[in-house]
Amino acid sequence: MNWNDKKVLVTGGASFIGSHLSEQLVRLGAKVRVAENFSSGERKHLENIDCETLEGDLLDPSFCDQATIGVEVVFHLAADHGGRGYIDSHPVECSTNMILDGQVFRHAHKNGAEKIIFASSGCVYPTSAQMDVTKEVFLHEDMVTPPYEADDLYGWAKLMAELSLKAYHQQKGVHTASCRYFTVYGPRCTENHAVMAMIARGYLKLDPFEVWGDGEQIRNWTYVDDIVSGTIAAAENIQDGTSINLGTMERIKVKDCAHQVIDTLNPGATIKLLTDKPTGPLNRVASNALAEELLDWTPRTNFAEGLQKTIDWYVESKTTEQARSDLTRKLVGR
């Protein structure tokens, strides 16, 4: 696909992932419009991106209509979303994503968008398949099948959006794709995600160093640049509503991530396990075989390298006062 002068809308474009995606689309020559209510997105993320910014709430039909007029491709990333602490304690807020997604798709279609790409999540996978840490499970796309078993209302909303986009393709001929992001991290990510909370604790030299759960949980943290390249590749290669994993196949235990952070930022700190805190599924790692086949995509940044880049960014961009206040606020917030 030639992105030069392509009229693109990125909903939630001031978010962590949305801002990296907008930046890359501008680099490729696209004319990017961002639609944002700045509920968790940050203005400073857009400061150096040459894009049009529309401020408003996409739950408001008239704003949603305005945002989708005159665009050819929609990347829909806006969502009421946070880390595990937020998802578990804010099911009502997460349920509003069903309204938000439906409305964005409806207006995008009405206004003639050719293509809609959706930021889905590993949370659409059956939680029961992700609870045994002794198994080497790789979640592959066709495991999301009736009767379905998504992770909390946040995951159900993502699943409903994926199914809606398949229907938009089948019934209305719109080109659609859903990208299932797996625990993304990198510069601009906030402390409501585990890896960033750990970096904040290390930076603040907190000892004991608190870890949620028993530390045996397994994740495939995926660096944001890889998520951006995969999302753009999905836009270029998928038309029929196919959902695709974007996640590494590297299996990292939470306690091993904690040790890497401690070794870098606060050597000698003692880990304190908080086993009463929410952890989500215990063993969540993607298969990226389908992404390799359909998009010729594999992640390029391994965890050790991505973690170091993220730590460097964090230390350079925040004072300890900011880190302390952000950590307190973000653990169960957005």
Ligand X SMILES: NC(=O)c1ccc[n+]([C@@H]2O[C@H](COP(=O)([O-])OP(=O)(O)OC[C@H]3O[C@@H](n4cnc5c(N)ncnc54)[C@H](O)[C@@H]3O)[C@@H](O)[C@H]2O)c1
Residue ranges in contact with ligand X by CB under 6 A:
12, 14-18, 35-41, 57-59, 77-81, 100, 119, 121, 181, 183-184, 193
What is the SS3 assignment for 59-106?
A: CCHHHHHHHHCCCCEEEECCCCCCCHHHHHHCHHHHHHHHHHHHHHHH
Q: Supply the minimum distance, in Å, between the C-beta of residue 263 and ligand X.
A: 24
Give the nearer residue to ligand X in terms of CB position, either 82 or 202: 82
Give the nearer residue to ligand X in terms of CB position, either 158 or 201: 158
Q: Supply the minimum distance, in Å, between the C-beta of residue 39 and ligand X.
A: 4
Q: Is-contact 283 135, C-beta < 8 A?
A: yes
Cis preceding linkage at 208, omega within 30 = yes
Q: Supply the minimum distance, in Å, between the C-beta of residue 62 and ligand X.
A: 13
Give the nearer residue to ligand X in terms of CB position, either 193 or 318: 193
**What span, in angstroms and rounded, lies between the C-alpha atoms of 250 and 221?**
8
Q: Supply the minimum distance, in Å, between the C-beta of residue 68 and ligand X.
A: 12
**Residue 158 carries which side chain, given as an amino acid letter?**
K
Residue of minimal CB distance from ligand X? Answer: 41
**What span, in angstroms and rounded, lies between the C-alpha atoms of 319 and 334?**
20
Residue 246: phi and psi, rounded to 5, are: -125, 100
Give the nearer residue to ligand X in terms of CB position, either 77 or 311: 77
Give the nearer residue to ligand X in terms of CB position, either 80 or 250: 80
Q: Supply the minimum distance, in Å, between the C-beta of residue 334 and ligand X.
A: 6
Half-sphere exposure of 172 (CA within 13 A, CB side): 19
Looking at residue 130, what DSSP letter applies?
Answer: G
